[in-house]
Structure 1
Amino acid sequence: MSISSENVEQEYVHSIYSRLATYQQKDHKPSSPRIWPRVRQFVDQQSIGSVILDVGCGEAKYTSQKCHVIGFDTCSEVLSSSKKENIELCLADAVNIPIRDASVDAILNVSVIHHLATTSRRRQVLQECSRCLRVGGQMLIYAWAFEQPNGKFAAQDILVPWNMHETAIGGRLPKVKFHLNTTKEQRIIAASIPVNISDKSIAQRWFSGVLSKVTSLTDQLPYFSKRCPSSSGYKSNQSTPTGSDSPLMAQKLPSAAPQFLPTTNSLISGIKRWSPMLGRRLASLLVPVEEQFSEELAQTIMRESITEAMATLREVTFYRFYHVFKEGELSDLVDSVDSLKVVSTSFEHGNWCVIAEKISTNLIRP
């Protein structure tokens, strides 16, 4: 299954985190399991008065009483719900950071770089971070590992499911079935979907998309497919691509978020929310007024019932894109940036952790 590098980040990263912003748990005490110990230690080791830049800060989990933390993220929904003390938040992209050169003492790059689709994009983020970092300052990079304690992923570029039953309501997790023979990591690995990141030109992607749609329409028309030349024994002299990148052989990627096709009634309901009077006038062209009010009452009851049911079951699945790093890959990526050198590499909770230091470009690496 193939997808362009531009689309995968927008569809399976940015839009998904915007959708999930309202479901995230906001309790991030120092003892919380969502606070990585190595990252917390790195923050605590910084000198008093240091300026720390948190790249892709998300819910702004890492704050400090003795340092000034500046956090930014591309998701405005997450930032709007992360109002905390001792941290300054702004909306920005990691490939174009609105910070002056050499103006920060330390950088947190936690769970960000594995959401970038290509090596060039990942290197671009590291170069931009290095620009903001002063010489001698350090950056902690935290990314998901290909090698997990309970197995390995099927590929490095994957779509990972995120289930709503993993979130808490009122501080309590809903009841889920206990899996005797598998761990959560093993279930994630088994459910992840390998993808191919395409770097084709816009024209090539457009042609592949059109050809894929024509093929899917042909499959949906039995009358046409039975009379297709390929079905009557005709063989073309041209070779047909059969690789995984071929649109003819490509499988359909799952939607990043559940898709609901709007019906006529649902469109009218949307207009009603914007203008009740206009909505009723449009609806009167389809159904009597009495039926409208009974339908509105039924919709209200159904909406409340579905909301309560989803709060209990919540079997809705979202998909997020990850590039999982093999051993040594993250260090090699850091080494590819002239102004950075690797200080240490460690493995923690299924993640690779690399601490890099900015060096003067006039110095020669040992």
Structure 2
Amino acid sequence: MEAQCEKNEAAMDGVRSMRKADKKQRRSQKKILAFDPDLSPQNDPSPVLGVCNAGLMTGDTEESLLEVLSPYGVIRKLVMLPNSAFSIVEFHSQEQAEQAMLNLHGKIPLDGKTLYLTYLAAIPEKWKLKCKDEKLPEGLQLIKDFVSEEEEEMLLKSVSWDTPPLEGRDLKERQVRHYGYQFDYSTNNVNKDSPLPGGFPPSCQPVIDQLLLRGICPLPPDQLTVNRYSPGHGIAWHIDTHSAFESPILSLSLQGQVNIEFRHKVNGQRVSITLPPRSLLVMDGESRYAWAHRIAPRKTDVVRSPHGLSLLWRTTRTSFTFRRLRASPCHCSFPLLCDSQLSNDGIDSTELISPILEQLHVADVYEEIAEHFSSTRYKPWPRVKELVMDLVPGSLFLDVGCGNGKYFGLRNPHQSIVEIGCELSRGLAGIARDRGFSVVQGNMLGLPFRDSLFDACISIATLHHLASRAHRLHALGEMTRVLRQGGMLLVYVWAREQKRDQKDSSYLKKDRGKSSEGEVEFREFQGPDGMTVALPLHVNGTEFQHSDVLVPWTSKMGTTYRYYHVFVEGELPALCEEVPQLTIVQSYYDEGNWCVLAKKS
């Protein structure tokens, strides 16, 4: 009897799952039509399937989709639509597409994610163009069979992987050796005053001779990085630092074949090309300065042929990257991507996109993570608590960016003060109200209070979410405005310096041993006049290498990124000194934060 009940329950679960899948399918068909009416979703079988929830916007790849789809037949075309969580796959026959639909729709075959599929009438011609060979970036050249098999063998034998490197260290994702000059992954640069002893391996000389003889580079390279990649490993999106190296950058691929991806930093265009063994990739001009490149960390690559698409399993690959150090600042034609020109001209690139960053990577993110974020915020900073406890009973106290209200309700009811919070996130403001606190939803750039009202104001871990210096200065002015004369202001911001007196902050201690490995991934944002600004994705628990970063927040729902401007020593006091009527009482460092206590004069 019990077994029969379990069997019936399992059958009901199956029915419920199919109903859910069909409901998701109908909803997805409407979204597909809204995205492009020419896609024509339908219920009748055809060789073409739409994968409704796996695409570029969901972080999926051609490789991950092919791995799931290819067991059911020969795939003629796979199109991942731009700015979409939707993909199109065309099988060789309708029968193969039906098998894929039967086995995948409403199932969980892709990284723990349930896939939802629908039939399509056909692939529109405009999307078929996406399947054709794409034009290489300007200045990019692939020279096949640049070295012979014998030269390849000599080059591979010239590098010892059995002993630790004389300088630097192997990286988490790959083994690495440097010659000529050590590449510093903490700065993405080289120390030009400290050449390494020994020079290049002798087997490199015939390669250098060919580079010069064929006019591929005008001067011999003086820095060499050799990387050895095991299957499944890669290198993150990056552009070789403008100020460090001349153009071109030359990468010689040995042993295994691999796909390398390029992404234009301004228009977002992507190109993927296959690097055969013994081929030389020349990155010159625009392809060197304006296109980021990466090798995705996976064990397979998509290989295109006249017969369709297939997966090629990776094997061990070794690359020899030849570069020449730059003797003077870079004057390329891409100033917003050039560290030489950005530092020389004093351009604050985040000024261009501050409204976008503050909406997408502050306001929207905190709405999404409000409940989980609140559950991690319960312990007050001791020196902030001290200020609150020292207030005279009856004082009016304002917390700007109060979150869940963790600095409220600390005092004895008989010594109470009037506590008011201002919070941008509707979700966090609601949590604070549910705890019985008085909180208004508002933006620190325009506080909804009259002048000279409060006796004390705090802003803890909020100012660093403003994406321009002008906004940060204005917010300090707003908090000063609502303080009465003699009122106190306490501000905490995240410090770029997470080590102080040779002691790690608690932020570093949480993930001790982590390393960003210097290969920084960037995310681009479109600014005015078509300009694009790229911000680095920070690796949690590691030291900050940049002042403006996107920091991951990970929960069961996935990973989102919050924008931070991390302050260097002296930056916060200097900003406060520009605010009229604000006098600094104390400036200090507190567990990875720069802090200022100030008084309104």
- TM-score range relative to shorter protein: 0.5 to 0.7
Task: Give the counterpart of 1:52 among 373, 376, 397.
Answer: 397
Q: CA deviation at 1:146?
A: 0.9
> Aligned partner of 1:39: which letter?
V
Q: Which runs of 5+ in 2 are unaligned?
A: 1-264, 266-348, 539-549
Within-5 A mapping of 1:270-281: none
Q: State how far apart, in whole Å, the 2-side matches of 1:197 and 1:136 are.
A: 44
Q: State how far apart, in whole Å, the 1-side matches of 2:580 and 2:526 are.
A: 25
Task: Give the counterpart of 2:433 among 79, 83, 100.
Answer: 83
Does 1:184 pair with 2:507? Answer: no
Q: Aligned in 2, Cα 1:47/1:188: closer, same or farther, shift over 3 Å?
A: farther
Aligned position for 1:318: 560
Aligned position for 1:362: none
Aligned position for 2:443: 93
Within-5 A mapping of 1:1-366: 4-26=353-375, 34-64=379-409, 65=413, 66-83=416-433, 87-149=437-499, 183-184=509-510, 190=516, 202=528, 204=529, 207-208=530-531, 314=556, 316-359=558-601
Contact 2:586 2:597 in 1 (8 A): yes
Q: CA deviation at 1:197?
A: 10
Q: CA deviation at 1:106?
A: 0.2
Q: Aligned in 2, Cα 1:143/1:185: closer, same or farther, shift over 3 Å?
A: farther
Contact 2:551 2:564 in 1 (8 A): no
Contact 2:423 2:429 in 1 (8 A): yes
Contact 2:584 2:596 in 1 (8 A): yes
> Aligned partner of 2:358: which letter?
E
Q: CA deviation at 1:140?
A: 0.4
Q: Aligned in 2, Cα 1:186/1:119: closer, same or farther, shift over 3 Å?
A: farther
> Aligned partner of 1:140: which letter?
L
Q: State how far apart, in whole Å, the 2-side matches of 1:106 and 1:334 are.
A: 16
Instruction: State the structure with bigger RCO (CA 8 A, min sep 6), 1 or 2.
Output: 1
Aligned position for 1:295: none
Q: State how far apart, in whole Å, the 2-side matches of 1:347 and 1:189 are.
A: 24
Q: CA deviation at 1:54?
A: 0.5
Q: CA deviation at 1:346?
A: 1.4
Residue 38 of structure 1 aligns to a residue in which SS?
helix
- Structure 1 residues 192-235: Cα deviation after superposition (integer angstroms, max 9, x where no partner): 968799996x3x1xx336xxxxxxxxxxxxxxxxxxxxxxxxxx
Q: CA deviation at 1:319?
A: 1.0
Q: State how far apart, in whole Å, the 2-side matches of 1:144 and 1:333 are.
A: 15
Q: State how far apart, in whole Å, the 2-side matches of 1:149 and 1:95 are.
A: 31
Q: CA deviation at 1:340?
A: 0.3
- Structure 1 residues 302-334: Cα deviation after superposition (integer angstroms, max 9, x where no partner): xxxxxxxx98xx382221111111111101110
* RMSD (Å) for aligned C-alpha atoms: 3.6
Q: Which runs of 5+ in 1 are unaligned?
A: 153-161, 163-181, 210-244, 259-309, 360-366
Residue 531 of structure 2 aligns to a residue in which SS?
helix
Contact 1:5 1:198 in 2 (8 A): no
TM (norm. structure 1) is: 0.55
> Aligned partner of 1:47: which letter?
V
Contact 1:105 1:134 in 2 (8 A): yes
Contact 1:150 1:185 in 2 (8 A): no
Residue 83 of structure 1 aligns to a residue in which SS?
helix
Contact 2:397 2:457 in 1 (8 A): yes
Q: State how far apart, in whole Å, the 2-side matches of 1:14 and 1:36 are.
A: 24
The number of aligned residues is 230
Q: CA deviation at 1:59?
A: 0.8
Contact 1:16 1:318 in 2 (8 A): yes
Q: CA deviation at 1:83?
A: 2.7
Q: State how far apart, in whole Å, the 1-side matches of 2:381 and 2:563 are.
A: 21
Q: State how far apart, in whole Å, the 1-side matches of 2:587 and 2:573 are.
A: 7
> Aligned partner of 2:563: which letter?
F
Instruction: Choose between structure 1 and 2: higher strand proportion.
Output: 2
Residue 81 of structure 1 aligns to a residue in which SS?
helix
> Aligned partner of 2:483: which letter?
L
Q: State how far apart, in whole Å, the 2-side matches of 1:251 and 1:92 are.
A: 27
Q: CA deviation at 1:347?
A: 1.1
Q: Aligned in 2, Cα 1:118/1:194: closer, same or farther, shift over 3 Å?
A: farther
